[in-house]
Structure 1
Amino acid sequence: MRYAVQWLRSLIFVGQMYLMLPVIGLLYTPAAIISRKGALAGCKAYCLWVRWTAGWMVNLRTEVRGTPPEGQVLIASKHQSFLDILLIFSELPAGRFIMKREILWAPVIGLYGMRIGCVAVNRGKRGAAIKKMVQDVARGSQKPGQLIIYAQGTRVAPGVKAPYKIGVGVLYEQMGVTCVPAATNVGVFWPKRGIYRKPGLAVVEFLEPIQAGLGKEAFMERLEDEVETASDALMREAGFDPEARR
């Protein structure tokens, strides 16, 4: 019975979440067209709405730990569900994402993605895709802010091992900026797919910065070790044993 009630609450929550996406998007559209600041404000408003409604509709509280970075940095995060996108973005002054090119054609999201300076990439041949990504990032470097990339390239469910993509190492090396790793446990509560939202405390944690200057291989090794170790600790804190799924 308790599961059925929580599932129904989750269904209502998910429904209103997707309903409010175009509502808030359209409300902020004039400001988004005028300036990047307007687009950032609209995106943050939606993030905060989802975090607030998740708290009282499905008893899913959210928390961001560590120090959200400012200035021109690269953020390399673990990605488990849509929720970690919202948590990270809501805490940054001017975040922008490396994202799939198909998202540019999505209603509302595509407009805001372009306006806040997201970098759209094709999922094609790895070498060509990475080269194009670096070129696009370089062209958009005049837009200040925090560039967010998901180090494994896609959502990865809790307890599942997936390789870290070399693209994040290439960006770190080419951009010559500090990288801030980010760990999370959100997938324990908010799945990669599906309706059910589990009550609890979903966390994103900004870790200690990795300063510019490491070699690509050394950087990749350190990034994976720190993000995976911290994410596993957060999942255990949430009552999930990642090792049991491996």
Structure 2
Amino acid sequence: MLVLRSLLFNLFFYVWTIAVILVLVPCMLLPGDRVILAGGLLWGRGNLLALRLICGMKVEWRGFDKMPKGAILVAAKHQSAWETFAFFVPFRRPAYVYKRQLAYVPLFGWLIWKARQIPVDRGGKGVALASIAAGAERAAADGRQVMIFPEGTRRAVGAAPDYKFGVTHLYERLGVPCQPVALNSGMFWSRKSFIRRPGTVLVELLDPIPPGLPPDVFAERLKSEVEAATNRLIAESLARGEGQGPSH
């Protein structure tokens, strides 16, 4: 039954994604990015609803009363593809840092461009950091949430942390609060499996980190607080008998 439900959701996911894209492409003729971002919200809500109805996978959002108003740097744990669409629900004006190659995907890439997301240019470290900073500064000036996964890619549940310098660079350049986010989505939607497990994904906003800290102090605080909270959320779900724990 778990396999069948997972297959049904995966089918829904691709059909729903294509449908949303086809509806939004004509909307690119409209000024601004708000309609496209609203489409992202619709995409996220549809997928979360389907996960709950088909797979029994729910979500519990915690600590969103802590989130500062206005422009912020959101630094989130990244365990699954789940957060790439789910975060459109609580974060209404996100500007994701993403690999520029995605911009070349037909139709989907056009929407990323229209939504003014933040591409990362391939090349040397300096080139990549400059491209991220330029897009992030424009997004922050517009009062948006700059979204970055500090480890750069999905990490397995329980894997040793691997935080990159990019998040620290943005923290220095933007001069806005950093909003750390812990989660345990990989217990229910792992990065190398099509199985979607029942249970409740836990997402928790931690205390915001104020701007102006020394870079090394910020980097250590971000990593230690996000990793401690993520481990706590994993333990909480395991105590409930939900999800799949570390495999190593």
Give the conservation status (yes or no) of the 8 Å contact 1:33–1:39: no
Report what 1:50 is aligned to: 47
Report what 1:128 is aligned to: 127
Distance 1:153 1:144 in 2: 23
TM-score normalized with structure 2 length: 0.91
Give the conservation status (yes or no) of the 8 Å contact 1:84–1:204: no
Q: Relative to structure 2, which stretch is displaced further, 69-78 or 209-218?
A: 69-78
1:13 to 1:212, Cα distance in 2 relative to 1, 3 A: same
User: What are the ranges of 5 or more consecutive residues in structure 2 without an aligned counterpart?
Assistant: 239-243
Report what 1:27 is aligned to: 23
Report what 1:190 is aligned to: 189
Distance 1:139 1:189 in 2: 35
Report what 1:14 is aligned to: 10
C-alpha displacement at 1:71, in angstroms? 1.3
Give the conservation status (yes or no) of the 8 Å contact 2:140–2:174: no
Q: Relative to structure 2, which stretch is displaced further, 59-68 or 143-152?
A: 59-68
Amino acid aligned to 1:25: I
C-alpha displacement at 1:114, in angstroms? 1.5
Distance 1:136 1:210 in 2: 21
RMSD: 1.7
Give the conservation status (yes or no) of the 8 Å contact 2:82–2:185: yes
Distance 1:85 1:13 in 2: 16
Percent identity for Structure 1 against Structure 2 = 32
Report what 1:224 is aligned to: 223
C-alpha displacement at 1:142, in angstroms? 4.1
Distance 1:63 1:145 in 2: 23
User: What are the ranges of 5 or more consecutive residues in structure 1 without an aligned counterpart?
Assistant: none
- Aligned to 1:170, the other structure's residue is in SS state helix
Q: How many residues align?
A: 240
Residue correspondence of structure 1 range 145-164 to structure 2 within 5 A = 145-164=144-163
CA deviations 1:4-61 (Å, max 9, x no partner) are: x111110110111011101012123333431311001101000000000000101111
Amino acid aligned to 1:115: K
Q: Relative to structure 2, which stretch is displaced further, 41-50 or 153-162?
A: 153-162
1:136 to 1:94, Cα distance in 2 relative to 1, 3 A: closer
TM-score normalized with structure 1 length: 0.91
- Aligned to 2:189, the other structure's residue is in SS state coil
